[in-house]
Amino acid sequence: MGMTTQATALMRAAVVTRYGSPDVLAVREVPRPVPGPGQLLIAVKATTVSSGDARIRSRRVPPGMGFLMRLALGWNAPRQGILGSECAGVVAEIGPGVTRFRVGDAVVAFPGTSLRAHASFVCLREDGPVVHKPASLSFEQAAALLFSGTTAYHYIHHAARVAPNERVLVVGAAGAVGCAAIQLARLAGAEVTGVCSAESAELVRSLGAHAVIDYRREDFTQSAARYDVVIDCVGSTNYAACARILRPQGRLVRVVCGLWGQLAAPLQGRLSGHRVIAGVAAERVDDIRHLVAQAEAGRYRAVIDSTFPLSRIAEAHARVDSGHKHGSVVITLDDPS
Ligand SMILES: NC(=O)c1ccc[n+]([C@@H]2O[C@H](COP(=O)([O-])OP(=O)(O)OC[C@H]3O[C@@H](n4cnc5c(N)ncnc54)[C@H](OP(=O)(O)O)[C@@H]3O)[C@@H](O)[C@H]2O)c1
């Protein structure tokens, strides 16, 4: 009688139905978000399956963190079943009051811990972690800039405060965070050594590393060299093992660290004048702007390991689970399936 019921618009999304192996992922039709005041609706063109997404899906976390993770994220399944912390796409709709973006603008965004980027559309505040995508970057390249980039930037600039001419050792140099750390440490003026497999030595050198150590042939903790900063992106070491290779005022950054390591970090190394840094990297909009500007200027790039359509996201998760990806695993949303 003159009233119409507006059908809810749908979109495709990869949903984690319970914790487990990659086959817990289902690509489904789910309600499309509606942009509220000050929000953008972004049509996602590319996103990534990060090591963080794979950790949430599998509930595979550093020792001691399992209980806390279930409390924070959900007991039997993640409360937010649509993962994905970074993406690039096009503004499809704007909510009331939006002034900085227009429909059709290409953007790069970092939903971060609020996730939801493994979908055709995601909503974000215009004053939040979203910036215009440089025309020189493809959607795939732009989508892979920020998970690894913000993590590395947090530890190198805000936590360890790497200074020009310092010597930095990056362990896990070929992973997504390692590739970012090598480049950002170089941009900070450091002399950088990467610890990686022989297969990825060329990649790591191409990102700016002055030297590489093959972890399968040499134990870097027994090296004669000394470093101002050691950044462990693998979780393969600890302060006791690294103390001898740290210079006075040296910092050990434990990007991957169990609960006891995190609790002990503030006390460790004090007597030797060292500092141990652990904990979760903070998400800052200014860091995002800085990283995208560096990428636009050609000084920083995302390394892409492999690319899968959304319909094959389980294979993408399996690649991340291998622990041997080099850079980021990208998901594209162009396929109609
Ligand atoms: N604290 C935080 O806030 C935070 C934020 C983001 C990420 N993270 C954590 O940081 C870690 C790294 O993330 P990511 O995305 O860079 O992971 P990733 O891309 O999966 O890194 C794996 C890399 O590690 C290398 N590798 C494996 N074993 C190694 C060893 N013993 N020595 C040196 N390199 C080794 C592999 O290289 P080869 O194949 O060549 O061996 C591979 O390239 C993850 O555990 C993630 O959960 C923490």
For residues 94 and 180, membership in a common domain is answered with no
Q: Closest residue (by CA) to atom 29 of ligand 1?
A: 172
For residues 137 and 185, membership in a common domain is answered with no
Q: Closest residue (by CA) to atom 24 of ligand 1?
A: 172
- Does residue 260 belong to any structural domain of this protein? yes
Domain boundary among 262, 278, 294: 278
Atom of ligand 1 nearest to the CA of 322: 20
Banded model confidence at residue 6, pLDDT cuts 50, 70, 90: low
- Does residue 4 belong to any structural domain of this protein? no
- Does residue 292 belong to any structural domain of this protein? no
Percent of the chain exceeding pLDDT 90 equals 95
Which of 59-63, 103-107, 154-158, 168-172 has the lowest average pLDDT? 59-63
Q: Give residue 84 CA to ligand 1 midpoint distance, Å.
A: 17
- Does residue 22 belong to any structural domain of this protein? yes
Atom of ligand 1 nearest to the CA of 197: 40
For residues 67 and 82, membership in a common domain is answered with yes
pLDDT value at position 2?
44
For residues 140 and 165, membership in a common domain is answered with no
- Does residue 1 belong to any structural domain of this protein? no
- Does residue 289 belong to any structural domain of this protein? no
Q: What confidence tens digit (pLDDT) does each residue in 211-270 have?
A: 999 999 999 999 999 999 999 999 999 999 999 999 999 999 999 999 999 999 999 998
What's the domain count of the chain?
2
Which of 209-213, 267-271, 285-289 has the lowest average pLDDT? 267-271
pLDDT value at position 334?
80
CATH of the domain at 230: 3.40.50.720
Atom of ligand 1 nearest to the CA of 178: 16
Q: Give residue 304 CA to ligand 1 midpoint distance, Å.
A: 14
For residues 19 and 103, membership in a common domain is answered with yes
Q: Give residue 258 CA to ligand 1 midpoint distance, Å.
A: 15
CATH of the domain at 326: 3.90.180.10
The stretch 145-173 carries a mean pLDDT of 98
For residues 210 and 160, membership in a common domain is answered with yes
Q: Give residue 103 CA to ligand 1 midpoint distance, Å.
A: 37
For residues 28 and 124, membership in a common domain is answered with yes
pTM confidence score: 0.96
Give yes or no for residue 325 CB within 6 A of ligand 1. Answer: yes
For residues 55 and 157, membership in a common domain is answered with no
The stretch 3-12 carries a mean pLDDT of 77
Atom of ligand 1 nearest to the CA of 200: 40
pLDDT score of 1 more than 80: no
The stretch 135-159 carries a mean pLDDT of 98
pLDDT score of 4 more than 70: no
Q: What confidence tens digit (pLDDT) does each residue in 47-59 have?
A: 999 999 999 999 9
Atom of ligand 1 nearest to the CA of 281: 3
For residues 140 and 18, membership in a common domain is answered with yes
Burial of 58 per CB tally in 10 Å (0-12, 13-18, 19+) = middle
pLDDT score of 337 more than 70: no
Give yes or no for residue 297 CB within 6 A of ligand 1. Answer: no
Q: What confidence tens digit (pLDDT) does each residue in 110-128 have?
A: 999 999 999 999 999 999 9
Q: Closest residue (by CA) to atom 36 of ligand 1?
A: 324
For residues 251 and 181, membership in a common domain is answered with yes
User: Which residue segment(s) compose the domain that 54 sits in?
Assistant: 10-145+302-332
Q: Closest residue (by CA) to atom 26 of ligand 1?
A: 172
